[in-house]
């Protein structure tokens, strides 16, 4: 593997070389070699012309004799030379570059360069060198560049580089080093560029690079580094460019980065980071460019992930197949940011707030993301011309269906709705996860929506976990991450993440298996589901139940037995996990109702529990809640939902239970074609939010579109939610 060794510079030199004509150098030239005057760049990139003898690729086994005395560049690449004696080169007083790469040196002692005081550049890459003894390069006092990459070096003596006080650039990448010794660098006080990636170094020790007070660029790519200790970069006061490309870092090495205050370019590409958390990149006062590309595990860029980076101009977060979430406030105080590349991720949106937090933003790359064209991305068409979209014709809506494949930029503002449902990215965590017994894991659940959603988790036992919940095994963070610690077989089962806002809710489940025992959801039919009537009132009935473990979804349906085709006769609510009671509202007084709770398990089997209940007689002072002005408008919703349920019913008729009463009320079998099903937006009560103040019944009934504490939920099936969002957003008045 060739590491990306300053590819830009090389390309530039190559380009310049091509432009300048090569002039023949009229001297007696060794057979088959070419003697020419060629453009040449010093290691500090200043241009010169060099008298060059080019003997590349000639199957030579020794340095040719009688080279022209004035030779400045001697190219012997791709030969079979195993040995160079002092006398073979000592008569070339002006030799500045010697290329012995791709030869057959296996012992550094076979390269005797003692008398080359002018040599600036020495290429020994792609040989078979395995060790370097002390003083291996004695006599090369002017040397500025030393290429030792792609050898078999496994041991370098502490004083191997003694005498190289002028060395600027050292390539040690792709060898067999197991440790980095800071004593090597004590000999190299002027080193500016160090490439040491591609070695099997287990860990970078504290102060490993401390003697390199003039280092500007450090490449630690492809080393399988798992962790960078806090003081690993100590002493690198002038470091400008740092690459951790292709390592095993699971976390941003924040503390280590604090030791390099001058950093301008940071490459963390191809590391298994799962998230970029609050303050991971903070107060890096000179950082100009940051790369977070090609990360298979990256799911989320959380709130305040990048804070106070006053010189950051370019941010590359691309080709991360699971990256589905960038918090609206992920970026804070990035006043110079011009280019934001976010293409080829799993992003459904980029929040307007994210963009507005970047006052100097010129262009954004969002193409090749599954963009959901609803409220969150609405700004794209509304923002004037300030922000340029890179590849706007490949920046397409993936959802909703009627906007599919339309360029996001060209969907008129009005066609996207003003509120939107939380949507948990299908790629944010797997649907199945194996954890070793006693092991720990983290599941990152995120949803971007407007208004910003709240997230909670439900354990297999049905316990609702919020950030406030503290326990030995679980911890939930406000941004939605569930941490499972030191799990035992008892924690195995189905976990559900629920994201909700005023508009609605979404959920996603994951089966966690612990140890080798494969997890089977319990199918204990005896522990039947029981639905209880907790309270009855003239216009509402409170139902409660104990959810069985490992439930995937829960539906509640109810209808009035006496007037099945009457207004609002049948209703269906799809309940998020963790709900244990439900307030059926807008009922008729003194009427009998039939309610059924159906829960579905991971293996697709379901359980049903039904109950009769009768509302009380209203006392004369009570008044029925006003008519249902929005009922007509709700019909469209109802049809959609009915279609969903009808499809399911069509697949298999429900079983009959003892007692003669049908498992589903009669209307379930004939009522679906009539649009009499009402979608419910009644308050979810009891245990739902035990710590939260109850809504004041005097202050409006249930739905508060602008309050931050939702008490009512429109509950929808997955299939319909996109389309229905539109209804909720535009016909919101019907919900009140
Ligand atoms: C070496 O370079 C110097 C300075 O450019 C020059 O005067 C001298 O003639 C060169 N030596 C040979 C052997 O060409
Ligand atoms: C918004 O969409 C319309 C219709 O496609 C288009 O004419 C207009 O230029 C778009 N506005 C912006 C800011 O891209
Ligand atoms: C159920 O809803 C009704 C009507 O909205 C309300 O008056 C009542 O307080 C609710 N019950 C509970 C327990 O929240
Ligand atoms: C709940 O209702 C939705 C929408 O009709 C349906 O897709 C889902 O399968 C139902 N779930 C259960 C547990 O009945």
Are 575 and 674 in the same domain? yes
Are 596 and 495 in the same domain? no
Cα–Cα distance for residue pair 135/659, rounded to 1 Å? 96
Are 543 and 683 in the same domain? yes
3-state helix, strand, coil in the chain (%, to 5): 15, 25, 60
Cα–Cα distance for residue pair 393/374, rounded to 1 Å? 18
Predicted pLDDT at 608 = 87
Residue range(s) defining the domain that contains residue 604: 531-618+644-687
pLDDT tens column, 492-543: 888 989 888 887 788 888 989 988 765 555 555 546 788 999 899 998 999 9
Predicted pLDDT at 666 = 28
Are 669 and 596 in the same domain? yes
Predicted pLDDT at 707 = 28
Model confidence, pTM: 0.73
CATH number for the domain including 469?
Answer: 2.60.40.10
pLDDT tens column, 24-59: 999 999 999 999 999 999 888 899 999 999 999 999
pLDDT tens column, 102-118: 999 998 888 888 778 89
Q: Which residues touch 2 (CB under 8 Å, ≥6 apart)?
A: 150, 174
Judged by its nearest atom, the ligand closest to the C-alpha of residue 379 is 2
Predicted pLDDT at 71 = 96
Q: Among candidates 147, 166, 48, which has minimal Cα distance to 99?
A: 147
Judged by its nearest atom, the ligand closest to the C-alpha of residue 693 is 3
pLDDT above 80 for 591: yes
Q: Among candidates 729, 731, 714, 274, which has minimal Cα distance to 506?
A: 714
Are 450 and 548 in the same domain? no
Q: Which residue is associated with the tokens 């966690």? A: 512
Assess if residue 468 is contained within a domain.
Answer: yes
Q: CB of 648 closer than 6 A to ligand 4?
A: yes
Assess if residue 203 is contained within a domain.
Answer: no
Assess if residue 558 is contained within a domain.
Answer: yes
Predicted pLDDT at 641 = 39
Are 456 and 589 in the same domain? no
Q: CB of 155 closer than 6 A to ligand 3?
A: no
Q: What distance in angstroms lies between residue 549's CA and the mean position of ligand 4's atoms? A: 18
Cα–Cα distance for residue pair 511/495, rounded to 1 Å? 6
Q: What distance in angstroms lies between residue 413's CA and the mean position of ligand 2's atoms? A: 8
Tokens of 667: 């209307």
Cα–Cα distance for residue pair 310/284, rounded to 1 Å? 8
Q: What distance in angstroms lies between residue 2's CA and the mean position of ligand 4's atoms? A: 55
pLDDT above 60 for 654: no
Assess if residue 593 is contained within a domain.
Answer: yes
Are 508 and 549 in the same domain? no
Is cis: bond before 400, omega within 30 of 0? yes
Is the pLDDT higher at 296 or at 17?
A: 296
Are 477 and 548 in the same domain? no
Q: What distance in angstroms lies between residue 415's CA and the mean position of ligand 2's atoms? A: 11
Is cis: bond before 451, omega within 30 of 0? yes
Is the pLDDT higher at 243 or at 530?
A: 243
Assess if residue 625 is contained within a domain.
Answer: no
Assess if residue 142 is contained within a domain.
Answer: no
Q: Which residues touch 287 (CB under 8 Å, ≥6 apart)?
A: 263, 264, 265, 266, 281, 309, 311, 312
Are 497 and 570 in the same domain? no
pLDDT tens column, 365-389: 999 999 988 888 888 888 666 889 9
Residue 502 buriedness (CB in 10 A; 0-12 / 13-18 / 19+):
buried
Structural domain total, the chain: 2
- Please tell me the residue having the least CA distance from ligand 4 atom 1: 555
Is the pLDDT higher at 541 or at 421?
A: 541
Are 484 and 609 in the same domain? no
SS3 string, 588-645, reads CCCCEEEEEEEEEECCCCEEEEEEEEECCCCCCCCCCCCCCCCHHHHHHHHHHHHHHH
Q: What distance in angstroms lies between residue 574's CA and the mean position of ligand 4's atoms? A: 7
- Please tell me the residue having the least CA distance from ligand 2 atom 6: 410
Q: What percent of the chain has pLDDT over 90?
A: 49
Are 561 and 438 in the same domain? no
pLDDT tens column, 186-208: 999 999 999 999 998 878 888 89
Which of 514, 540, 571 represents a domain boundary (last residue)? 514
Predicted pLDDT at 384 = 64
Predicted pLDDT at 275 = 93
Judged by its nearest atom, the ligand closest to the C-alpha of residue 586 is 3
Cα–Cα distance for residue pair 511/493, rounded to 1 Å? 5
Predicted pLDDT at 658 = 27
Is the pLDDT higher at 577 or at 261?
A: 261
Predicted pLDDT at 734 = 26
Predicted pLDDT at 362 = 94
pLDDT above 70 for 439: yes
Asked whether the beta carbons of 222 and 246 are under 8 A apart, the reply is yes
pLDDT above 60 for 665: no
Q: CB of 94 closer than 6 A to ligand 1?
A: yes
Asked whether the beta carbons of 508 and 445 are under 8 A apart, the reply is yes
Asked whether the beta carbons of 663 and 657 are under 8 A apart, the reply is yes
Q: CB of 117 closer than 6 A to ligand 1?
A: no
Q: Which of 409, 411, 414 to mutate to test the pocket of ligand 2 (most atoms within 8 A of CB)?
A: 409
Assess if residue 537 is contained within a domain.
Answer: yes
Assess if residue 458 is contained within a domain.
Answer: yes
Cα–Cα distance for residue pair 39/21, rounded to 1 Å? 8
Q: CB of 131 closer than 6 A to ligand 3?
A: no
**DSSP string computed for 472-513:** SSEEE-TTSEEEE-S--GGG-EEEEEEEE-SS-EEEEEEEEE
Cα–Cα distance for residue pair 352/726, rounded to 1 Å? 19
Q: Is residue 611 very low, low, confident or very high in pLDDT (cuts 50, 70, 90)?
A: confident
Tokens of 111: 């390269």
Are 507 and 551 in the same domain? no
pLDDT tens column, 453-470: 889 998 888 888 998 888
Asked whether the beta carbons of 705 and 564 are under 8 A apart, the reply is no
Highest mean pLDDT out of 88-97, 416-425, 566-575: 88-97
Q: What distance in angstroms lies between residue 712's CA and the mean position of ligand 4's atoms? A: 19
pLDDT tens column, 698-734: 333 333 222 222 233 333 333 333 222 222 222 222 2
Q: What distance in angstroms lies between residue 735's CA and the mean position of ligand 4's atoms? A: 21
Predicted pLDDT at 561 = 64
* DSSP summary character for residue 419: S
Q: Which of 682, 685, 689 to mutate to test the pocket of ligand 3 (most atoms within 8 A of CB)?
A: 685
Q: What distance in angstroms lies between residue 411's CA and the mean position of ligand 2's atoms? A: 7
Which of 483, 514, 545 represents a domain boundary (last residue)? 514
């Amino acid at each position: 593997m060739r590491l990306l060794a300053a590819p830009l510079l090389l390309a530039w030199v190559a380009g310049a070389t091509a432009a300048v004509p090569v002039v023949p150098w009229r001297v007696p030239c060794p057979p088959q070699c070419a003697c020419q005057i060629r453009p040449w760049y010093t290691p500090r990139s200043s241009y010169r012309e060099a008298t060059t003898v080019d003997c590349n690729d000639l199957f030579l086994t020794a340095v040719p004799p009688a080279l022209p005395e004035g030779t400045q560049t001697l190219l012997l690449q791709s030969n079979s030379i195993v040995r160079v004696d002092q006398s073979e080169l000592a008569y070339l007083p002006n030799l500045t570059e010697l290329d012995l790469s791709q030869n057959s040196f296996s012992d550094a002692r076979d390269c005797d360069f003692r008398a080359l005081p002018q040599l600036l550049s020495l290429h020994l890459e792609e040989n078979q060198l395995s060790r370097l003894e002390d003083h291996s390069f004695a006599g090369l006092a002017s040397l500025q560049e030393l290429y030792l990459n792609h050898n078999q070096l496994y041991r370098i003596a502490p004083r191997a580089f003694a005498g190289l006080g002028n060395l600027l650039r050292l390539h040690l990448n792709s060898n067999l080093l197991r440790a980095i010794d800071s004593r090597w660098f004590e000999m190299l006080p002027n080193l500016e560029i160090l490439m040491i990636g591609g070695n099997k170094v287990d860990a970078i020790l504290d102060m490993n690079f401390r003697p390199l007070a003039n280092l500007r660029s450090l490449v630690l790519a492809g080393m399988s580094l798992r962790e960078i200790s806090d003081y690993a970069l100590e002493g690198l006061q002038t470091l400008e460019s740092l690459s951790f490309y292709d390592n095993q870092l699971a976390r941003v090495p924040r503390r280590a980065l604090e030791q390099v205050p001058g950093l301008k370019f940071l490459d963390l590409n191809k590391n298994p980071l799962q998230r970029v958390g609050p303050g991971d990149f903070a107060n890096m006062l000179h950082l100009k460019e940051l790369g977070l590309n090609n990360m298979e595990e990256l799911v989320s860029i959380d709130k305040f992930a990048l804070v106070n980076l006053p010189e950051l101009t370019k941010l590359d977060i691309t080709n991360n197949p699971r990256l589905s979430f960038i918090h609206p406030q992920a970026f804070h105080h990035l006043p110079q940011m011009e280019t934001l590349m976010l293409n080829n991720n799993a992003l459904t949106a980029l929040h307007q707030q994210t963009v507005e937090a970047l006052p100097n933003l010129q262009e954004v790359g969002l193409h090749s993301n599954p963009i959901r064209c609803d409220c969150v991305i609405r700004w794209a068409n509304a923002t004037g011309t300030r922000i340029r979209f890179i590849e706007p014709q490949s920046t397409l809506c993936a959802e909703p269906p009627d906007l599919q494949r339309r360029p996001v930029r060209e969907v008129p503002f009005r066609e996207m709705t003003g509120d939107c449902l939380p949507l948990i990215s299908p790629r944010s965590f797997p649907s199945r996860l194996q954890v070793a017994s006693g092991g720990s894991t983290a599941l990152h659940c995120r949803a971007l929506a407007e208004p910003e959603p709240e997230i909670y988790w439900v354990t297999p036992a049905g316990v609702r976990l919020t950030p406030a919940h503290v326990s030995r095994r679980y911890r939930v963070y406000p941004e939605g991450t569930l941490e499972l610690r030191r799990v035992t077989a008892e924690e195995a089962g189905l976990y559900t993440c629920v994201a909700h806002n005023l508009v609605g809710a979404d959920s996603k489940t994951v089966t966690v298996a612990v140890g080798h025992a494969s997890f089977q959801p319990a199918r204990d039919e005896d522990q039947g589901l029981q639905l209880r009537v907790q309270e009855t009132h003239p216009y509402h009935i409170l139902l409660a139940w104990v959810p069985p473990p490992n439930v995937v979804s829960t539906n509640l349906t109810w209808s009035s037995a006496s007037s099945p085709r009457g207004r609002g006769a049948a209703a269906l609510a799809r309940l998020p996990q963790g709900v244990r009671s439900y307030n059926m509202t807008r009922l008729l007084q003194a009427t009998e109702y039939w309610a059924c709770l159906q829960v579905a398990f991971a293996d697709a089997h379901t359980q049903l529990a039904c109950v009769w209940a009768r509302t009380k007689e209203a006392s004369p002072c009570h008044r029925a809640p006003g008519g249902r002005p929005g009922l007509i408008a709700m019909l469209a919703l109802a049809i959609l939902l009915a279609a969903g349920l009808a499809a399911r019913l069509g697949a298999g008729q429900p079983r009959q239970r003892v007692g003669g009463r049908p498992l589903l009320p009669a209307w379930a079998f004939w009522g679906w074609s009539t649009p009499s099903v009402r979608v419910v937006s009644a308050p979810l009560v009891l245990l739902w939010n035990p710590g939260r103040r109850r809504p004041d019944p005097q202050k409006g009934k249930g739905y508060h579109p602008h309050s931050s504490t939702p008490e009512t939920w429109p509950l929808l099936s997955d299939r319909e939610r996109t389309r229905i969002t539109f209804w909720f957003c535009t016909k919101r008045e019907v919900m009140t």
